[in-house]
Chain A
Amino acid sequence: MQDLFTSFKDNCGFGLLASIDNKPSHKNLEDAITSLSRMMHRGAVAADGKSGDGSGLLLSMPKSFMVKEAKKQGIVLPKQYAVAMIFSTNSSELDVFEKYCKRNDLTIIMTRDVPIDTNALGEYALNALPAITQVFVAPDSIMSFSRFEALIYLTRKETEFKLKDNADFYIPSFSTNTISYKGLVMPTHIKEFYKDLQNKDFKISFCLFHQRFSTNTLPQWKLAQPFRNIAHNGEINSVEANRFNVMAKAGAITSEVFTKPELDRILRIIIQDGMSDSASLDNFFEFLQVNGVDFFKTARSLLPAPWQNAPHMDPELRAFYEYRSTCFEPWDGPAAVSMTDGRFIGCVIDRNGLRPSKYIITKDKKLLITSEYGVLDIPASNMLERGRLQSGEMMGLDLKSGKVLKNEDINNYLKSKEPYNDWLSENMIYLQEQVDSIVTTIDEIKKEDLESKQRYFNITHEVIDQIIEPMLKDGKEATGSMGDDTPLAAFSSKQRNFSDFFKQKFAQVTNPPIDPIREKVVMSLNTGFGETRNILEDGAHHTHRLKAGSPILSKEKIDVLLEYGDERSPRFEASYKAKSYDTTFTTDLKTSLEALVTTITSEVENEGIRTILLDDRAVNAENKSIPMAMLVGRLNKVLLQKKLRHLVSIVTVTGEVYDAHMAALMLGFGATAIYPYLLFSTIATIVRKDDPEIDLTESIKKIRAALNGGLMKIMSKMGIATMASYRNSALFDVLGLSGDIVDECFHGARGLIRGLTYADIEERLTKYHAHAYNRGNSLYPLNIGGYYKYLDGEEYHDYAPSTVHAIHQASKSGKKKDFEALKNIINKRDKKYIRDYFEFNSKKESISIDEVESKEKIFKRFATAAMSLGSISPEAHECMAEAMNTIGGMSNSGEGGEDSIRFGTIKNSRIKQIASGRFGVTPAYLRSADELQIKVAQGAKPGEGGQLPGHKVTKLIGRLRHTTPGVTLISPPPHHDIYSIEDLAQLIYDMKQINPKAQVAVKLVSTIGVGTIAAGVAKAYADKIIISGADGGTGAAQLGSIKFAGNPWELGLIEAHNALKANGLRGQVKVETDGGLKTGLDVVKAAILGAESYAFGTGALTILGCKILRICHLNRCSVGIATQEEKLRDYYEGTVERLINYFTLLADDVREILAELGYNSMEEIIGQTHLLKVIDDEFAKKFDFESLLVDLEGDNTNNVEFNEPYDKNEFEQEIVKEVMPTIKNPNDSIVLNKKISNLNRSFGTRISGEIAQYYGDKGLPECAIRLNLTGTAGQSLGAFLSNGVSIYVNGAGNDYVGKGMSGGRIVITNELAGEKYSLAGNTCLYGATGGKLYVTGQVGERFAVRNSGCTAIVEGTGDHPCEYMTGGVVIILGKTGMNFGAGMTGGVAFVYDTEHEFIEKINPELVEARRIDTDDTDTERYYLKKLLKDYYKETNSAKAKDILDNFRVEIRNFWIVRPKDMMSRPLKIEEGE
């Protein structure tokens, strides 16, 4: 576990600057550095202002400068030369480099120590400073230019391989036309550090620049970006799979540039170890470039636009992508990547547009692409174009011809290069097309055999009832509620699936999950079969592939697959030659596994097997099966090692798959496709019960739809959009399996609590097998279950009936003896959870309980967990607030808003939550809190969003969430303003502006790697970090999410606490945990493992009378807690006293334990892991618990009041002083004129916070404060703006303009206005609840996401406009991007569409567009006109004028868009809709 504490992820600010006609100048360099410096807030900055996580410049070779430098040494540089920039720690490393140069026919003509000034470095950077040397290299014999370039690369690769164990040796660049200047230095100091950069002779024509934000505080010189070809802002979620696939593809590579032996030397180290995801992408990009693959083709192969499900895509372009997909899978994840090969420069945005990238083209022929606008002061008179890249777009520059290439140009170039369409039509075979029968069949299994197999593969009555039947009914994965309270599979004594050892990974903070439903356009489960051929070579032969739409195969499809693989079939083709392998065994799992893998690999090698079917149908009374995922994973690894992996497709024919998790596991470790025969047979028995002749087609379709949906959910949880990128990604944590098993079979995954060996697994299998086949007679053939719901004698549940009764009793009576009864159940549960494996180990004498701190002090550490009003009833919600306020703890509003009449009273929730839905997040709401909790993930369903069905949206809830009662409310999976760590830093900054007195907390879910995230969150200036256990509850989630994503809190807490310590950050933040805590023992153990405070969710509800019915999602809670039904709320029995009783008993229990341990206070035991030891127990000895008791040096608790941001926002603090008189006397209105720059972030927020403090959301009278700004504002302009504040910007805004605005007005105008000019960035108006926003230009992606009340007029938008919108009015006087109105359940939009292409942009699931030029749309029409008039008055927009002048004509070009089920309702104009 130790290595986890110092691992990292990174995000950043980035960009490029180039002279379009390739003219070098020193000004280019200076501009690039200025731009970079002005994005410093996107990186991390230490208190000394010098130490950051690294920044750098990748520059065109400053030829004239180099010539002069050579001259100084008396050397005349030849025409052909390359410069290596080298970081080294000793001279022998340079000797190695020289040796390989010589060996490759290169000669060193000059070595130059790069002049540096170490004053520019922070202490940490200085300590790690390598020697920085430039080595000039030339050909030693006559060779072509391209050969020279190849040898440069080869030499570098060989040097890297030789020195791969020298961690600090690194070659930032080695090229003829680019050079890298980078390091652990701040952008503001880079020029000071590298003296070369100060030299006026240092002239460049282009520059890629980058500032890094690493999650840890141990950055390295070599990790600074840009790399040799790219600079990347974002995170590659599928990087494990991509790295694996590079190695797999390598098996087929031959090169025209390198000889076979040369290539072999390169292939050893295509991807360097120990580097970041971005570095790996760079490695592969470079490899393709050096081998002559076209620049744009490379870019679009590795970072393709979404093509599978994008409507109306150019078929030729689609053909190009489909063709490339036979060789490459996307490097998937949020990405803005700038890249160059020296001739071309380009920038690509990921398929979902998750990273910002804005460009400016000037009249003086400069191209600037950056994360933000305003990083360089360019006068409007010099501005030619101001735009941004949309989802999946690329733009480029050909330096040779001085031409800017737009997305269209690049696409036209790519699609016309080869006859891709013809190649595909001729060779690609779609399984679906080849299926002859229209009636779906299954493998028929005899009843007895079926039942035995169902028992062996754990298809219980409960599985049928809870999992399979819901899929069959709705074609979707089953929904449940509350949390998982069962032990890990490793600790269970009951029959558990092998897949239970694995927990799905999910995105949090550094990368966003995707919404696989509303943003389905980017998702694809496309699956191909057949060999991967030489990726360096183009040709029709790549298109010889069999294709399926999903990896879940029906019988018909697998039959077709087999026909192509069967030598006796007329359809046979050698490249699909198939063979089925029986995966069963009788004894010795390990030996059987290895023997089977050996057989298969040898037959692949010698008999040309290309389609491997792993088949467990031979399970019977004698044979049990090798766990399929284990076999797939092992085989995958061995095939890779033997360089055979690219030849084959692995198909599992298995009884082990009945839900998406089980399928995902096999796919994640290498399976190509799955035929779940037992599931299909089970379905047949269900649907044929009444009619044995019934056609199964519909049923199988539904099941496949459910599994496909489940797979997309699992992928999207990790932010992966395509199955091709998910396959081999190993995105699971393995809990409880031995190191051997993890290393040998689950390559790429991480294991914790290493324990069970092959022999242990075999022992368990043997037990299940015996039970399945020698079960004796019973009337009902299946096992009943007990995994999802409690069943007596079956799986342990921590909220069993007796426990619930005991909690009720203790909370009602408040008597110690009743609490003892509960303790008797919980504290003696015996090795069910990780904490049960530790016992106290205090060396101190016990003390009297009178010497222990009071219970009041302990109460301060207690909080109730976030539960929204909506998921629970107002009675329960208020009860918790009142109880916690009474005892001095904290209650949590949850994400549903809160009634303002509760603010400032005993019923105010001291914690206000900010979740992805942003329901009712207003200035007053935020200002009423002592803690602002940003929920990044939720234990029950990390990486997923949620939904409050319309029938639960009562009048009250509608009001609190600023929406119409009865409207379904969707919480998106990601916060649309947090796609990366610097985004989170920005949101935290927003929070600290609106309410400077509140602590900002960030809620994370336990998973391996959460320590890395926690460190990053601390660096983003959060005050508190919450580590939730995966067992947390929910009002509704898919059962697969409740059960299989996320880890127990213990693991996450230990990792986070220690990662914070290892990075020296623990003293900056508080740490809290939650997850099934019930007794003092739980609390004290959590404290010792590092938590300072403790939250109770399900526990608190149980105290209030919850009976763990697990029907919260059905609005039928019989105890009146998880329901809005008035009739049921009458049955609510919870009281404030019950909560106080329980927490009093709990605090006293904690005090008793402290006394026994000999400590006076909680503070003294937090993080003191020596107070625990592993229990002395045979079963416990199987597992590695020792390594969990980490004891690092350093702070164990927080020691600052606030984790102050580097940026103190003096700019606005000054303005607050100026407007204070108006806040005091609202009628004395004020107008201020100010200049603003992109460094002034969250402008208007601090003022709004002050206003909300005194006036709540009512704010000030209209236009009481008018702020006229000139310039480009920083991110979050007008975030959470209050009524009465008007912001007029003459210039532009960046991302998040008007985020959460509640009132007031933001008007952005510019001399260069209209559809062609971008005037605001991404995700504007996210979660806005009111106010007005006028922008006379285009805005970015995801405009007005989750808007519930703002009226906005803009002149064009990016993709996904009005997503999840529930209220408000949006008028768009220009083009919109795709996926308009996805998940939009309320509000109204008007779109001006002269080109008649808007209809294709709509996501038609929920909304509908209509014309408004008829009599019965009178209201709409004149309402629109009224709004446009106001818009024109405020902005002078030329477009608005045109439209108004010709309103009678132009009205024909307008669409009104509303949710389908709202269409019949009249527009409620007075309510702002």
Chain B
Amino acid sequence: MLKFFDLERIDAKKRSGGERVKDFKEIYEVFPVNKAAEQSERCIQCGDPYCHNKCPLHNLIPQWLKSTAGKDLELAFALSNQPSPFPEVLGKICPHDRLCEGDCTLNDGHGAITIGSIETFITEEGFKQGMKPKFADKMTDKKVAIVGAGPAGLSAATFLLREGINVEIYDKQVRAGGLLTYGIPGFKLDKSVIERRVDLLKEAGAIFHQETEVGKDVSFDELQEKFDAVFIGVGATQGRASTIAGADAKESYLAMEFLTNIQKKLFGESYDESINVKDKKVVVVGGGDTAMDCVRTSLREKARSVECLYRRDANNMPGSKKEYINAKEEGVDFEFYASPKSVALDREGNVIGIDMIKTELGEPDESGRQRVQEVAGTEFRVEADVVIFALGFAPVKYPFLADNGIELDRWDGIVVNENYETSKSGIYAGGDCHRGADLVVTAALDGREAAKAIVSKLLA
């Protein structure tokens, strides 16, 4: 270990920008064994493992880095899969530069450990060598219903099955995975990766009820009756609509609507053919990871040009730096310090552009983030055929929640106590439907912690 002194940080190899926009395949290669070991050896094994501390799941990062360095893959696999429901997924899509790698001791000039890539390597390589996360040898007679097959639901299912609790998962989509399947584009996360996890859960005894919407196809009462507990992980898929004039135009989309549609198209499922960016000038408003997904998807959908507009600058983008760089490499134009005022339409109501105003950063607010101020008299227009708003998401107010007396907060998030239990006993919730739009890793955390609470209650 401690090789940081002689060895530079090296990221996983990625395909060239020009090459990779031609398809939806993942852009990063998985580390070869020696590279993973070598990069792991850079780790200091701190007395205060900041990476582990910063990780919402508190992944055992230094521990599995050391076993990877020692080429003890079996140990690394066990350590990595122990607290995490799908490390190979999070290794790809977590904003590592804001979490583990951002807080890595070496991230002050030496170059953080490539934690994400190594995390992916461990489980990918492990699967390749035939390793499998272990589930309970014997099932109990307890049953839990999970509503939503997204990250929170899959995480809960994983940790319940480990303790021998039967799970049945109800999900309205054709395929399981929620946001992981329909929200995150394949060039970041190959769809087979999720399928593999779903298959493992099935193998462990999980029953998936796809295209089954609670409150529609199955009643919530039925779940309550049939199961010892219910976990709700229905996400926050309600795109935050822009309030500016013209935002309701036909060629003005919300990010998730756009991404899901393209994904369905790629799956060959039924989709809205009117959403199409081919040969068009696309403008995406927003600076988060979803905005990056939209711009990069647009490129792969053969848009003529893609531009991203954001109120602050590159350093203040809320998403992962890596994604910004990837987008730039792939040919996206960025316009910073620009805030939308209205969508410009022609007489037919077709989008012709977006009217913007320049901004600047002012005093920091309570959270320490600088406020955005518009600069008077700096209005300008960006031409566009399609405008996509990636301004965040909110939970959907599913009727069955209110009908069953499940308390929501003022942002429509489900209120839970420290055991992830909602105001209704035996009903648990977690993930975006509780927090509002957040990271996959926090959803995974909620699923895990809720599962633990359910286990200790049911198996007490």
What is the interface of chain A, defined by CB distance below 8 A to chain B? 461, 465, 482, 689, 776-780, 784, 788-793, 797, 799-802, 804, 1107-1111, 1114, 1116, 1118-1119, 1125, 1127-1128, 1131, 1133
Contact = CB atoms under 8 A, between A and B. Distances in A.
Interface stretch (B101-109, B193-201, B228-236, B398-406): B101-109
Contact of A1116 (B44, B60, B135, B136): B44
Given A780-B82, A792-B53, A482 B47 contact: yes
B44 A1111 contact: yes
B331 interface: no
B58 A1118 contact: no
Contacts of B174: none
A790 B164 contact: no
B110 interface: yes
Contact of B44 (A482, A797, A1118): A1118
Given A792-B58, A802-B53, A1118-B108, 10 more contacts: A777-B134, A777-B135, A779-B81, A784-B60, A790-B48, A790-B49, A1111-B44, A1118-B4, A1118-B105, A1127-B5
A791 B5 contact: no
A1119 B108 contact: yes
A73 to B, nearest CB: 79
Contacts of A793: 58
B46 interface: yes
Nearest to B52: A792
A1107 B105 contact: yes
B276 interface: no
B66 A465 contact: yes
Contacts of A789: 45-49
A802 B134 CA distance: 34
Interface string B102-145: 01011011100000000000000000000001111100000000
B136 A777 contact: yes
Contacts of A1108: 46-48
B79 interface: yes
B134 A1110 contact: no
Nearest to A803: B48
B162 A1118 contact: no
A1110 B162 contact: no
Given A777-B164, A779-B82, A780-B79, A1107 B5 contact: no
B459 to A, nearest CB: 8
A482 B47 CA distance: 9
A779 B4 contact: no
B50 interface: yes
A1401 to B, nearest CB: 41
Contacts of A801: 48-50, 53-54, 103
A800 B50 CA distance: 9
Nearest to B136: A777
B78 interface: yes
10 contacts: A461-B63, A779-B77, A779-B81, A790-B47, A799-B48, A800-B53, A1109-B105, A1116-B44, A1119-B108, A1131-B110
Contacts, number: 101
A1109 B455 contact: no
A780 B81 CA distance: 9
A482 B48 CA distance: 12
A469 to B, nearest CB: 10
Contacts of A797: 48
Contacts of A792: 52-53, 58
B2 interface: yes
B26 interface: no
Q: List the 8 closest A-B pairs by CB distance, nearest first.
A: A1110-B47, A801-B53, A792-B58, A780-B78, A779-B78, A1109-B46, A1108-B48, A779-B82
A628 to B, nearest CB: 29
Which residue, of A689, A792, A804, A1110, has the highest number of chain B Cβ atoms within 10 A?
A792
Among B45, B48, B52, B163, residue most surrounded by chain A Cβ atoms (within 10 Å): B48
Interface of B: 2, 4-5, 44-50, 52-54, 58, 60, 63, 66, 72, 75, 77-79, 81-82, 103, 105-106, 108-110, 133-137, 162-164, 455, 459
B50 A777 contact: no
A1228 B53 CA distance: 70
A465 B66 CA distance: 10
Contacts of B455: 776
A776 B72 CA distance: 24
B46 A1107 contact: yes
A1116 B5 contact: yes
Contacts of A1119: 108
A784 B67 CA distance: 14
A776 B458 CA distance: 13
A1116 B46 contact: no
A425 to B, nearest CB: 50
Contacts of A780: 75, 78-79, 82
A799 B164 CA distance: 38
B53 A465 contact: no
B163 A1109 contact: no
Contacts of A482: 47
A793 B452 CA distance: 15
A776 B162 contact: yes
Nearest to A1114: B2
Contacts of B5: 1116, 1125, 1127-1128
Contacts of A784: 60, 63
Contacts of B75: 780
A236 to B, nearest CB: 39
Contacts of B108: 1118-1119, 1131, 1133
A1133 B66 CA distance: 28
Contacts of B78: 779-780
A800 B77 CA distance: 27
A465 B79 CA distance: 13
B291 to A, nearest CB: 29
Residue of B44, B136, B137, B164 with most partner-chain A CB within 10 A? B44
Contacts of A689: 72
B376 to A, nearest CB: 33
Given A779-B78, A779-B81, A790-B53, A1116 B48 contact: no
A1150 B108 CA distance: 33
B50 A1107 contact: yes
A542 B56 CA distance: 66
A791 B72 CA distance: 22
Contacts of A804: 48
Contacts of B79: 461, 779-780
Contacts of B53: 790, 792, 800-802
Given A779-B78, A1118-B106, A1109 B134 contact: no
Nearest to B164: A777
Nearest to A790: B48
B2 A1110 contact: no
A1076 to B, nearest CB: 14
B134 A779 contact: yes
Nearest to A800: B48
Contacts of B103: 801
A801 B105 CA distance: 10
B48 A1111 contact: no
A1125 B75 CA distance: 33
A1118 B109 CA distance: 9
A787 B459 CA distance: 29
Contacts of A800: 48, 53
A761 to B, nearest CB: 25
B163 A777 contact: yes
Nearest to B134: A779
Nearest to B75: A780
A784 B48 CA distance: 15
Contacts of B50: 801, 1107
Question: Quick one: which of B66, B81, B105, B110 has the most chain A CB within 10 A?
Answer: B105
A100 B109 CA distance: 85
Nearest to A784: B60
A1110 B137 CA distance: 40
Contacts of B459: 776
A461 B60 CA distance: 11
